[in-house]
Amino acid sequence: MSKPSAIVTRRWPDECESRLKQLFDVTLNESDEPFTTDQLKSALQSCDVLMPTVTDKITADVLSVENRKANMIGNFGVGFNHIDIEKAKELGITVSNTPTVLTDCTADIAMSLILMVARRVGEGERELRANNWTGWRPTHLLGTKVTGKKLGVIGFGRIGQAVAQRAHHGFNMEILFWDPFDISSDVINNLNAKKLDTIEDICKESDFVSINCPATKETLHLMNAERFKLMKKSAFVINTARGDIIDEKALVDALNNNEIAGAGLDVFETEPNLPDELKTLENVVSFPHLGSASIETRIAMGNMAIDNSVAFFENKDLPNKVV
């Protein structure tokens, strides 16, 4: 029996690529160069399953390519806002993702951003590497204490709760959150968390605002000029979700106008491009989308994408079906 054919759009960990070779007639992207729109269309015409990742724009135009062969998209990543899900559903294309396995690593990165931007760690390292450090002194690079402060979490799902867990039990932070869905009382009690009625309330009351909600049409530019103005001048915004949840121009204005104290960012609206100010302002810590970037997590993500695809071809329920 012949193996299903698969095309993988970026390099995966070696362990995952070896497993792909065992289970599929697979075409790997040895150069690791991003696929163009035409390459994505061609891939859909020539394989049984396309395995893209979050940087691949799987638009309605791409999905509607003539003579499409693939009826399965095994996405490498938990987010799927880069895929036109409604068009996939209309065309009968199954889409899967890789949730749960990246929760801890993404929460770790959120805490790293909180600590780095509050304690001015990035500034200190740049000073030291540039040989500009003149020694310890009482007023040097004074930052903001993290322990005991109020953390407002926008989006209290798996990752939001994991960030809160670290913040509350590790740093004795008071947890405030907003989420459109009901949250288990066990979770709330464990974190001694308080649900606020609106995002505006989160902005007003929090010392740190952590964005952990999914990227949807409803959350586009959720953090905008009006909401930055509601934040304390001493507060920081942290984003490990998706870049377009923040209006980056409004963020730059808020930083330049001292409306907020700083920002810690792992994601950007038009990655890998971002406003120069988010690379040069001293009160910003910017990471190159490192949320899930641990060896263990990336291998787990690859294996989950493979498991989803194998289940599809074996006519079994997918472990992580989006549509």
Q: Which residues are catalytic?
A: 242, 271, 289
pLDDT, position 275? 97
The yes-or-no answer to whether 5-99+295-313 and 103-286 have a common fold is yes
d(CA 42, CA 110) in angstroms, rounded, equals 37
Among 19, 22, 28, residue whose Cα is nearest residue 47: 28
Predicted pLDDT at 17: 98
Residue 298 confidence (pLDDT): 98
Question: Is residue 230 a contact partner of residue 259, using CB atoms and an 8 Å limit?
Answer: no
Give bridge partners of residue 53 from the DSSP assignment: 76
Which candidate, 258, 238, 192, 241, places its Cα nearest to that of 77? 241
In the chain, where the domains are located: 5-99+295-313, 103-286
Q: What is the pLDDT of residue 11?
A: 98
| CATH tag, 103-286 | 3.40.50.720
DSSP code per residue over 50-80: EE-BTTS-B-HHHHT-TT----EEE-BSS--
Task: Specify the pLDDT at position 137.
Answer: 98
C-alpha–C-alpha distance, residues 236 and 116, integer Å: 11
Each of the 323 residues of the chain gets a pLDDT tens digit; together they read: 799 999 999 999 999 999 999 999 999 999 999 999 999 999 999 999 999 999 999 999 999 999 999 999 999 999 999 999 999 999 999 999 999 999 999 999 999 999 999 999 999 999 999 999 999 999 999 999 999 999 999 999 999 999 999 999 999 999 999 999 999 999 999 999 999 999 999 999 999 999 999 989 899 999 999 999 999 999 999 999 999 999 999 999 999 999 999 999 999 999 999 999 999 999 999 999 999 999 999 999 999 999 999 999 999 999 999 99
Fold of the domain spanning 5-99+295-313 = Rossmann fold (3.40.50)
Whole-prediction pTM value? 0.95
Question: Using CA atoms, how far apart are residues 223 and 187, in angstroms rounded to an integer?
Answer: 26
CA distance 242 to 257: 24
Distance CA 205, CA 184 (A): 23
Residue 76 tokens, joined: 């490498």
